[in-house]
Structure 1
Amino acid sequence: MIVLTFSFCSSDYKIDRFSLEYTNWYGSEGVMYKYVINQDSLRIHYDCDFENCKDTIIYQKVLNKKKVYNFYSKLKKIKTDTLKKFYVGEYPHDREVIEIKGDSLNNIRIILRDYYHPEVEKITLEIDKIVNLKKFSIHN
């Protein structure tokens, strides 16, 4: 008699503590959106320059461990250590700030003023995949 034993492995999506904050100021419109992603959750904040306007969380959700693991893995592969701290384009009214912190990541803070950078574009595309809602996506 032959006994076959199958073992089903559940994936352990091991993720170090990390935080990514992507803030986008639309200077000409007077509004700001900030995306905050960590190993557990996503929050999107809204603020503006108008009277009685205050920082408000407009969207939040608990993140699927597999999605966070994929996001974190891709984030680790992006060459943030090659980036400068400031980039300024021709019309610096709009501003983006990306701050990445984590045990296994290159801690960095980057400020872009009306400037396109391909490595930063990789980060914002990955944020859009986590957000997964057209109305809150960065590239809408």
Structure 2
Amino acid sequence: MTEEAAKKISLRSRGTPRIANWLLRRLRDYAQIKGEGVINKEIADYGLEMMEIDDFGLCNIDRKLLLTIIEKFSGGPVGLQTLAASISEDTDTICDVYEPYLLQKGFLHRTPKGRVATDLTYKYFGKK
């Protein structure tokens, strides 16, 4: 693996070794199929794009969750049960998998009334 590819993986791993290892395994598979078995910048870019993981480490479900808050609930607040039903995800999965990273990076704010999209979220999607 090249150093540049390693940096791309680390930036998208959400600071979680388990996710970094998962990405590494997936990219290794891409490298074996599409390349010469070496994870380089091109393979990393291709694989991460195929997995729909962007430069912020957001996946398609992260983006779906945030867009739902913006578009269906006018930015929030929206309760966890309602949000989960709107995106067809389990409440525990939202709380344990998606929400911590979105809160940490400033894409989401949790209030007593529910989840609220932040200015960063609107900027990310080019809205408002």
TM range (shorter): under 0.3
TM-score w.r.t. length of structure 2 = 0.24
Give the greater-gyration-radius structure (CA).
1
TM-score w.r.t. length of structure 1 = 0.22
Instruction: Using CA pairs under 8 Å that are at least 6 residues apart, name the structure with larger relative contact order, 1 or 2.
Output: 1
